[in-house]
Amino acid sequence: MKKIILATLICLYSFGAYSQVRTFDIKMTPCLIGSNCSKCAEIISIKYEVDSENKVVTVSGAAIKGELVREVLNDCLIKDQLNWMCRQPTITVSAKNNLISVITNKNSSLYASQKEMCIVK
């Protein structure tokens, strides 16, 4: 019986059932500052893959101009899969207890054009 349980755990681990990577699919849109996220442009879909074991966050998806993006983010703090934060040139994305938030950086070109990034629910 112990051999069966051990073999099952090894198989689950090998196939990623105990993976330290968690994926967050987020839809965002740039909106006019002060519009309460009601005057917005196109919606973009971004995927954040958080690897808490290796302390790496990878972002992928289509940027506003349509080009495909896939890159490892450099400026991230990762506590675990559900609690992390990454600073990007335009926005800071964070997860606190699995709840995602986005803050537009005040020194970004997006903010200079009177826009902020909003999450689409």
Residues 21-61 have pLDDT tens digits of 899 999 999 999 999 999 999 899 999 999 999 999 999 99
Identify the pLDDT of residue 5: 45
Lowest mean pLDDT: which of 7-16, 19-28, 81-90?
Answer: 7-16
CA atoms within 13 A on the CB side of 58: 10
Tokens in use for 104? Answer: 């537009």
Residue 42 lies in a domain: yes
Residue 8 lies in a domain: no
Predicted TM-score (pTM) of this structure: 0.77
Question: What is the rounded CA–CA span in Å between residue 26 and residue 53?
Answer: 22
Average pLDDT score over the chain: 85
Query: What domain range includes position 27?
Result: 20-119
How many domains does the chain divide into? 1
